[in-house]
């Protein structure tokens, strides 16, 4: 056997999504469809606060998020955060915003204890690895253990579910906040987080989410 083949045996690992052997963290069969889930339009500038959605919550991206959360694969979130960082670095609307303080949407401490990690925080950290922006998860605290937004039915139920779900400690923040979350459904979670930050005079400059649910899921 050739020496490089022997090295391959040592350095090949299993892709956490499909279990194929791969020299990279994710195999090429998973990477390609994941990249294909990227949204055609990264930024929605028509909203009062610009909203950036990296991808559509469907197919490969849905599977990757599920594997990350329910099969204990936190590194997938870091990887996807880095992908968001790379897209950000080449986007005209994003670059107009300059430096921001990155704040992930927190999980309730009890839920985080069960899962062992907060995927939104890992997305934010992966994003900051690439963009060199400061990451400050301590700027938001989740005080209410809410139901997943996708399990709530009406708009009113969503609002009640998230009413005063977050608080923010009084702190001086150098740059406006970039809120980061994994899935964007109705925007109610983000709205609730913005209320908590603005109550402390902390400005939210933009919102960045990994995946937006398609119309039929809303």
Compute the distance between CA of residue 147 and CA of residue 158 in angstroms, rounded to an integer: 9
CB of 31 to Zn ion, least distance (A): 8
3-class state of residue 134 by DSSP: coil
> What phi, psi does 101 have (nearest 5°)?
-95, 120
Segment near Zn ion (CB under 5 A), from 8-16, 44-52, 70-78, 209-217? 8-16
Segment near Zn ion (CB under 5 A), from 26-34, 55-63, 97-105, 147-155? 26-34
Q: Which is nearer to Zn ion, 27 or 165 (CB)?
A: 27
CB 142, CB 178: distance < 8 Å? no
> What phi, psi does 77 have (nearest 5°)?
-65, -40
Size of the site for Zn ion (CB under 5 A): 5
CB of 80 to Zn ion, least distance (A): 14
Q: Tell whether residue 30 is a contact of Zn ion (CB under 5 A).
A: yes
Residue among 7, 18, 35, 47 that touches Zn ion (CB under 5 A): 18
Take residue 92 and report the two structure tokens written for it. 């005209």
Residue among 27, 60, 65, 165 that touches Zn ion (CB under 5 A): 27
Crossing angle between the packed helical segments 188-198 and 155-162, to the nearest 10 degrees? 40
Chain residues in the site for Zn ion (CB under 5 A): 15, 17-18, 27, 30
């Amino acid at each position: 056997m050739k020496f490089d083949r022997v090295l391959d045996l040592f350095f090949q690992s299993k892709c956490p999504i499909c279990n194929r052997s791969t020299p990279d963290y994710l195999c090429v069969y998973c990477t390609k469809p994941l990249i294909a889930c990227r949204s055609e339009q990264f930024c929605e500038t028509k909203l009062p606060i610009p909203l950036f959605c990296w991808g559509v919550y469907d197919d490969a991206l849905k599977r990757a998020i599920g594997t990350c959360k329910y099969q204990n694969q936190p590194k997938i979130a870091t990887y996807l955060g880095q992908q968001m960082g790379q897209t950000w670095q080449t986007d005209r609307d994003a670059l107009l915003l300059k430096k921001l303080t990155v704040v992930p949407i927190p999980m309730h401490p009890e839920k985080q204890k069960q899962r062992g990690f907060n995927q939104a925080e890992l997305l934010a950290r992966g994003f900051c690895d690439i963009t060199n922006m400061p990451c400050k998860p301590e700027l938001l605290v989740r005080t209410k253990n809410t139901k997943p937004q996708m399990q709530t039915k009406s708009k009113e139920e969503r609002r009640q579910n998230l009413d005063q779900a977050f608080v923010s400690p009084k702190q001086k923040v150098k740059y406006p906040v970039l809120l980061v979350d994994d899935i964007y459904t109705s925007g109610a979670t983000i709205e609730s987080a913005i209320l908590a930050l603005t109550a402390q005079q902390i400005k939210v400059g933009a919102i960045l989410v990994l995946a937006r649910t398609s119309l039929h899921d809303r």
